[in-house]
Amino acid sequence: MAEEASSLVGIIETTVEVKSTPEKLHDMLVGKKHHIPSASPSLVHGYGEARVMKERIESIDPENNRATYRVLEGDLMNEYKSFVVTFQVTPKEGEPGSVLHWHFEYEKINEQVAHPETLLQFAVEVSKEIDAHLMSEE
């Protein structure tokens, strides 16, 4: 039984290189989340199936530009028993810009549920649009 449960649990992660500073990107993703729809209108209000999500902040570490959210309600919870999103933004070594690291930890409700690669790709694309928006404000 434990073996079966372990196949439902997973971690998926990726990094995105951006031009914004770690502080600006962290501020947008934590302190100004209500601005994300205007910073990424083609994805957040774009085409495709609308998704709703309610999350709780698990932790915020402004010194390290890191935050963790636990999804509590919404469409995602129809497929996952638990879903935790962590991101951290770090400065690039020796050049301007940052590296945004996305980390998803989840437990699927059953084997028929896909791993959330498409959701991770969505996070990457939204990150790029937010970065372009932040750079256009300078």
Predicted confidence (pLDDT) at residue 50 exceeds the cutoff of 90: no
Domain range for 99 is 2-136
Look up the CATH number of the domain holding residue 52. Answer: 3.30.530.20
Beta bridge partners of 98: 18, 91
Give the model confidence (pLDDT) of 58-90 as tens digits: 999 999 999 999 999 988 899 999 999 999 999
- For the entire predicted model, the pTM comes to 0.86
- Rounded to whole angstroms, what are the CA distances from 129 to 17, 80, 88, 95? 12, 27, 17, 21
Distance CA 118, CA 99 (A): 20
Predicted confidence (pLDDT) at residue 4 exceeds the cutoff of 80: no
pLDDT of res. 47: 46
Give the number of other CB atoms < 10 A from CB of residue 119.
Answer: 20
Domain count within the chain: 1
Tokens representing 63 are 């010194």
Q: How confident is the model at residue 3 (pLDDT cuts 50, 70, 90)?
A: very low
Give the model confidence (pLDDT) of 10-35 as tens digits: 999 999 999 999 999 999 889 887 77
Q: Are 65 and 43 in contact (CB under 8 A)?
A: no
pLDDT of res. 46: 52
Distance CA 74, CA 43 (A): 18
